[in-house]
Amino acid sequence: MGEVRIGVYICHCGTNIAGVVDVEEVRKYVEGLPGVVLAKTYPYMCSDPGQNLIKEDIEEGLIDRVVVAACSPRLHEPTFRRVLREAGLNPYLLEMANIREQCSWVHMREPKKATEKAKDIIRMAVAKARLLSPLQPVEVPARREVLVIGGGIAGITAALDLANAGFRVYLVERAPSIGGHMAQLDKTFPTMDCSQCILTPRMVDVARHPNVQLFTNSEVVGVEGFAGNFKVKVLKKPYYVDLDKCTGCGLCVDFCPIEVPSEFDVGLAPRKAIYIPFPQAIPHVAVIDPEHCLYFMKKKCMVCEEVCQELAAGAVDFSQQPEEVELDVGAIIVATGYDLYDPTQDEEYGYGRYEDVITALQMERLLSASGPTRGEVVRPSDKEKPKKVAYVQCVGSRSLRPGHASYCSRVCCMYAIKQALQLKEKYPDIDVCIFYIDLRTFGRGYEEFYWRAQEHGVRFIRGKVAEIWRSRNGRLVVRAEDTLTGRVLEEEFDMVVLSAGLRPSKGTEELAALLKIPLGPDGFFLEAHPKLRPVDTVVDGIFVCGTATGPKDIVDTVAQAKAAASSAMALLSRGKIVIEPFVAAVDEDRCRGCGRCEEVCEFGAVAVEEKDGRLVAHVNEALCKGCGACSVCCPTGAIKVRNFRPEQIRAMVSSVAG
Amino acid sequence: MGGGMSSLILDMREADPKFKYRVKAIPGAEKLTVCFQCGACTPDCPVAKRTDIFRPRRIVRLALLGFKKRLFSGNLLWLCLGCFSCMEMCPQGVKPTELIEALREIGAEEGILPPSIKDMMKALLSTGRIHRITKAREKARAKMGLPALEEPSMEELETIFASSGLAELVGGREVK
Amino acid sequence: MQVGLFLGCLVPSRFMAYELSMRKVLELLGVEVIDLGTACCGSPYIFSVDRKAGLALAAWNLSLAEEAGVKTLVTPCSGCNEVLNRAVEELKDLDRRDAVNAILSKVGRQYKGEVAVKHIVRFLYEDVGLDKIRAMVKRPLKGLKVAVHYGCHLLRPSEVIKFENPHDPRSMDELVEAAGAVSVPYENKLECCGFPAMPIDEELAYSIGMDKIRAMLAAGANAVVTACPSCFLHFENTQILARRKGEEMPALPVLHITQLLGLAMGLGPDEVGLRENRVGTEGLLQLLGA
């Protein structure tokens, strides 16, 4: 093999390293280490000239192993590997020594000791560098199908982008229709676009797209596999209606005798046990709710089936069974949306006790022309038009009290102002007062939107509402402190709207467990890095977008959905996935097929298989995380993690421990 | 900055920015620095509804800014009824009632204590009760058929009280 | 059932009817009481003067209960309820407990954190139970429209006392109903009575008390029930003061909760110490047909 020629490059990193560590002293020391033929320092190794230092030395044949002593490899290891590759050297003949995060940054007040420690760290890296071998990245074939979980605006956007790019998409939605919460909204801020008008064209597009297969009334119940090759089990819950035959005429709905509160209208209006979720539902078919249908509860009725058989398409089918399908996909995008906080537990607000205290989502249905009151905003109690409406902000948000969320739900200031403006437009004489702690109108056009509301005479009082009660004359009274004048005020209103916050949608914990992705402390899915990787999760191939990672408006939701689709495309577009080779590898000559590695592997990445009449361990490189547990328990030293072989580790330890 | 018109301006030279750390060190008052002045504490306060000067929200603010003179002026801090209504509403866990107790303690250290409270503490120090139980009362108890009250051990209580600064704060025990 | 009694200062000296009716009701319900040589709790004011003294005093009181083998300490006074429970909560922290025990050891005592403190209302509601109480009712208090005043320290601070939802409590209302009376809803039911303002600003205390009385009368109440000697005192005194100032209003008799329960259980007016009540007792007796 011949002697290796190691080049060591020590970065000053401005004053980050050089301000604490005496880099020249370290350089002199390193020069004398066995195997090191040159040692240089430079202010910023990651800069172009810094990179060129290495490149030139390789091209001139001076070195064939590189040690870069600088920041954490998490930042620039790929940079330097690229330098080696461009200079014609195998990129895995590089070892990084972290003398910043693990040295200069944590020992800022002890420069002498830090300098000694830097020498130790580099000595370890050099010991390893002597034993580095050239490696090749691993390629795994990847499928071109993508699973999108959630059929709201986020899921629909991601699905459309992927489908238009030629990828096949399976869109799984748990409700009987796609559309999500955006379908319940009347107008969207700050443009005052009609929500249905901008949503439904996309709903239609995604349903008709040849590259999209829609699974509505369905849930993901099993996930196995790895990036490029996931196996997903989807449970299709029965509609009890034949989707091919049903024309959505609605006759069955007219005849059904059972009424329950409508989820779409948030309890303000009833729906039947057989129902079409909303006029623009897709698929536009009836669905039976087995928990309230008389047939399923008591084996009676069946009027819908009769009526449909006699007068319509004969589409009702009580015999339908749930069906499980298995899908093979290359990537998964989680777009499961949010639930609205239920303020029933906040006794002081009287939600649930007083009919005229409602949530903003309920007000959205009242404002909507296709809502239960055809767009007339009336009090639920007596159907009269309210003359005075109060908005209570931060309900269930920004609070440490039990059952509340500590975070700000981000959209409530804007939606309250939007609804206030809508009320003023419909009823010029109405008095709307928003009780707030702060007004968060941060986005493009948002501050101007707030200004517009003030111009129209919407009142704003800075003070968190403490109590709502019904006075003896039957009117609702709101009590708050007007902190800006320092006076406690009590005011009568006809209606109170609670700006309830956003919560992780129901089923988030279960889905996270299935996908093996973590949740943040606020209960939403956790992104890989809040700033640099907002749509990735820690699991390769699983992406997340929209309100599934936390409260956000439609602007950010759509941007994230597009980002997630684009990330999935980047992952799958070449039909294969390239992964770092730092996974376990089996020396088949030494392997006796004892199976201890298979027992100890937590990721199911190694299995003993028969090969040419012998039992030999085989590593699934895409599943292997390189943890090394197999290597520890292997009695013959057959299985080792590349670049972290026992002899490499031992050399590093000996170099400092003697 | 002189008097006259400009005396309505809050003179920040009167503020002691280190005061909040002294207050924060007292158990119960630790969270005063996270108050974001939402005002949820004030509407349920029976005193805030009926006076001009007392607002739990404002007291937290004054403590944060360190306006000791304003805080300890008059009977402001002692207007608090100790009803805890504010604490039920605070979204940040600030505990205004316990903050006011802490401020009163600091005031007591500097000799500010309403006389009636002082009297109660003096009685406590000498008899183990804030309201003494006279012979007449003991007779009335017996007449009602109630058992005689066991007197608490003053010997033990004196040792207990001696471990605190209570006696110094109220100017010694009550002289009978 | 066996409980220790923590009477405090006000009840045994000034509101003996509360103590009397409480003892009698507990006896009727088969609960054995153990008297202890406890001192004052320090009153809620102790935490405003010297916190260290307050904690040490509470621990001393509680150690007496522990020594007597008491697991539940019952008190009729909400003020004591609040002070002792706050001390129990704070002394769950072992460092603070060690510091307090260092003081207690000077008199040969230790606080182990093994005794629970409950207000008599909570004890009756949770430990005895409404069914048992209902079974003992011999004279349902029909005709009594009671304004229930929870006061401040039976329920709050809720994160320490953890009894009921402070915005929607039911215990006292249900006890009153179990006695056969009706509990009337009234405005600002959960507001403080105003008593603590007395040593500082009498006018303020009076105006808070009057607002409550007026709200109760407006709702049609003909009696008030309290769970705290200070609230009791304040509602009586407010009415007496109002009459002196020339206010014309019907007298609203004030009852300690155990007086009300005792009467329902068939005890006579003297057995619940009704002579101690100074406002509207004739009207009350008429209502009860006694």
| Segments making up each domain of chain B, as ranges | 14-109, 115-169
CA distance A269 to A373: 9
Chains that touch B (3 or more CB pairs under 8 A): A, C
Please list, in sequence order, all residues whose beta carbon lies within 8 angstroms of the beta carbon of residue A28, skipping any fewer than 6 positions away: A39
Contact A472 C187 (CB under 8 A): yes
Assess A490–C contact: CB distance below 8 Å, yes or no.
no
Residues of C in contact with B87 (CB under 8 A): 156-157, 159
Assess B121–C contact: CB distance below 8 Å, yes or no.
yes
If you ran DSSP here, which 8-state letter would residue A101 be given?
Answer: I
List helix spans (H) across A410-529. Answer: 412-426, 446-455, 508-515
Of C167, C187, C218, the CB nearest to A348: C167
CA distance A517 to A533: 15
CA distance B117 to B57: 25
- Mapped onto helix, strand or coil, the DSSP state of residue A413 is helix
Of C96, C167, C204, the CB nearest to B51: C204
Interface mutation vs chain B, best among C40, C43, C49, most B CBs within 10 Å: C49
Domains A145-237+323-337+516-572 and A344-503 agree in fold: yes
pLDDT grade for B172, boundaries at 50, 70 and 90 = low
Contact C167 A471 (CB under 8 A): no
CATH architecture of C2-120: Up-down Bundle (1.20)
Nearest CA in chain C to B145: C20
For residue range A97-140, list pLDDT tens digits in order. Answer: 999 999 999 999 999 999 999 999 999 999 999 999 999 998 98
CA distance A536 to A544: 6
Q: Quick one: what percent of chain A has pLDDT higher than 70?
A: 100
| Segments making up each domain of chain A, as ranges | 6-129, 145-237+323-337+516-572, 251-311, 344-503, 583-641
Assess C36–B contact: CB distance below 8 Å, yes or no.
yes
For residue range A429-473, list pLDDT tens digits in order. Answer: 999 999 999 999 999 999 999 999 999 999 999 999 999 999 878
Of B38, B58, B93, the CB nearest to A437: B38
Burial (CB < 10 A; 0-12, 13-18, 19+), residue C2, is exposed
Residues of C in contact with A472 (CB under 8 A): 187, 218
**Which top CATH class is A344-503?**
alpha beta
Q: Which residues of A566-579 are buried (b: 16+ CB within 10 A; e: fewer)?
A: bbbbebbeeeebeb
Of B131, B160, B164, the CB nearest to C10: B131
Q: Has residue A1 got a pLDDT over 70?
A: no
Give mean pLDDT, residues A173-182.
97
Closest CA to A405 of A521, A516, A507: A521
Assess C89–B contact: CB distance below 8 Å, yes or no.
no
Closest CA to B89 of B28, B35, B44, B56: B44
CATH architecture of A583-641: 2-Layer Sandwich (3.30)
Fold of C138-288: Rossmann fold (3.40.50)
pLDDT grade for B7, boundaries at 50, 70 and 90 = low
Contact B146 C23 (CB under 8 A): yes
Contact B36 A486 (CB under 8 A): no
Task: Check if the beta carbon of residue A153 is closer than 8 Å to that of residue A171.
Answer: no
Q: Has residue C239 got a pLDDT over 90?
A: yes
CA distance C225 to C223: 7
For residue range C132-148, list pLDDT tens digits in order. Answer: 999 999 999 998 999 99
Assess B46–A contact: CB distance below 8 Å, yes or no.
no
For residue range A198-230, list pLDDT tens digits in order. Answer: 999 999 999 999 999 999 999 999 999 889 999
Contact A471 C187 (CB under 8 A): yes
Fold of B14-109: Fumarate Reductase Iron-sulfur Protein; Chain B, domain 2 (1.10.1060)
Q: Has residue C76 got a pLDDT over 70?
A: yes
The token pair that represents A186 in the structure block: 């009347």
CA distance A190 to chain B (A): 26
Q: Has residue B16 got a pLDDT over 90?
A: yes
Contact C103 B108 (CB under 8 A): no
Closest CA to C16 of A35, A171, B136: B136
Nearest CA in chain C to B51: C204
Q: Quick one: what percent of chain A has pLDDT higher than 90?
A: 92
Q: Has residue A386 got a pLDDT over 80?
A: yes
Give mean pLDDT, residues C52-67.
95
The model's pTM: 0.85
Contact C218 A348 (CB under 8 A): no
CATH number of the domain at A145-237+323-337+516-572, please?
A: 3.50.50.60
Residues of B in contact with C20 (CB under 8 A): 144-146
Of B50, B100, B150, the CB nearest to C37: B150
Of B39, B45, B48, the CB nearest to A464: B39
Q: Which residues belong to CATH 1.20.1050.140 in chain C?
A: 2-120
Assess B159–A contact: CB distance below 8 Å, yes or no.
no
Contact B81 C191 (CB under 8 A): no
Q: Which residues belong to CATH 3.40.50.11810 in chain C?
A: 138-288
Contact C165 A347 (CB under 8 A): yes
If you ran DSSP here, which 8-state letter would residue A344 be given?
Answer: G
Q: What is the ipTM of this complex?
A: 0.91
- In CATH terms, A6-129 corresponds, of 3.40.50, 2.40.10, 1.10.3470, 3.20.20, to 3.40.50
CA distance C105 to C83: 22
